[in-house]
Structure formats: C-alpha cells, structure tokens
Amino acid sequence: MEVVGVCGSPRVGGNSEQLLDRALGLVAEEGLATGKILLAGKRIEPCTACLKCRKERDGLCHGREDDLTPLFPRLYGAAALLLATPVYFGAATGEMVAFIDRLGYVSRGNGGLLNRKVGAPIVVARRAGQNFTVAQLNYFFLINGMVVPGARYWPVAFGGAKGDVQNDEEGLATVDDLARNVTWLVKLINA
C-alpha cells in the first residue's frame, strides 16, 4: 500500500519537491509506505493518441517507449498519488501534463485502473496560477474516479527561488494537513 509522490518540476530539489518530501515524510510517519518519482531528467513524451492502450488492454502505454513506460505498473499499484507541480504560465508543467494524459488515458482504456485510489495535488508558484493548477489536477483525479481529500486551505504555496517555499508558513501547514488527510483516507479505503 504505497503512497507515491510524483514531482513535475524540472528543478531537482526545488520548491515542489520540498513540499512533496514534507508530505511524504508525514505519510511515512503515520505508517504508510511511500515512494517518490521525479519527472526531472526523465524523457516523458506526450500522448500520441495511437489508442493502442485500448486495443492491447494490458495496462501499458504502447504509443511511446520512454522513461514513463516502465512506471505504469507501480503507479497503478499505488494506493494514492500525490502530484506536485510548479505553476508554469498559469498551469502545470509540460512534464506533468504529459504524465497525466498518458496515465489517465491508459487507466480509462483499461477499465479504470485509477478508480477509488486517493489523489491529491500540491502546487507552488512565485505569485499566481496556483488555483487553476489545483483545478487542473483535480479534474484529472475526478474523471479517473479517484477520491480527493481536502485540507485547511487549497493545497498551494508561494515561492520563486529554490527553497522560498520554506518561508510560507501557511503553505507548509496546509501541506501537513493534506498529508494527514491523505493518510487517513488511504487507511479508511483500504481497511
């Protein structure tokens, strides 16, 4: 029962990853197994709309052979996905969008492999665009039948330079709250 965090920032050790680490740390403290996947440095191509996932129906993406291809079984085996991304021009990064497009399309073409898993976004920006990006990720979770916990605030934080996010006390507290709610929900669903 793994809670897998996926970081969509190309900046290793940046604000999104710092928030994700914080969330995963709390989840681990509360007794669940955790893992982290960085999209940074990986070749994550966009969906080709080849529709082979719907013909093969083996839970894999056959349109691309890249660094995402081998991750599908682990992602579909997870109890929860925490998706962390910075805001790029008011939306999630290109890496994160390519990731969710392919993961979601294969899931939906194979009977709903993400159905009833827990999904939660973590979004950071220097100044604006967090809410739209939270909505973007929540649309992904919801159309895939996933269950999305809330927190004391929308799961957003502020930070521009690497590490700035550590100064956003409310953002950090919100991530903590989200992590605890993810853990609570995963335990409830899998009891």
Ligand X SMILES: Cc1cc2nc3c(=O)[nH]c(=O)nc-3n(C[C@H](O)[C@H](O)[C@H](O)COP(=O)(O)O)c2cc1C
Residue ranges binding ligand X (CB under 6 A)? 9, 11, 14-16, 86-90, 124-129, 159-160, 162
* Shortest Å, Cβ 137 to ligand X: 14
Single-letter code of the amino acid located at 34: T
Name the nearest CA neighbour of 129 among 83, 176, 86: 86
SS3 of 138-155 = HHHHHHCCCECCCCCCCC
* Shortest Å, Cβ 117 to ligand X: 24
Give the 3-state secondary structure of residue 35: strand
Shorter beta-carbon distance to ligand X: residue 32 or 120: 120
* Shortest Å, Cβ 83 to ligand X: 12
Name the nearest CA neighbour of 83 among 144, 23, 168: 23
Shorter beta-carbon distance to ligand X: residue 14 or 109: 14
Shorter beta-carbon distance to ligand X: residue 70 or 160: 160
Shorter beta-carbon distance to ligand X: residue 50 or 128: 128
Name the nearest CA neighbour of 86 among 122, 139, 137: 122
* Shortest Å, Cβ 125 to ligand X: 3
Shorter beta-carbon distance to ligand X: residue 5 or 109: 5
Residue nearest to ligand X as judged by C-beta position: 14
* Shortest Å, Cβ 175 to ligand X: 13
Report d(CA 129, CA 97) in Å as an integer. 15
Q: Residue 94: is it exposed, middle or buried by C-beta count within 10 angstroms (0-12/13-18/19+)?
A: middle
Q: Which helix (H) or strand (E) holds 175?
A: helix 169-189
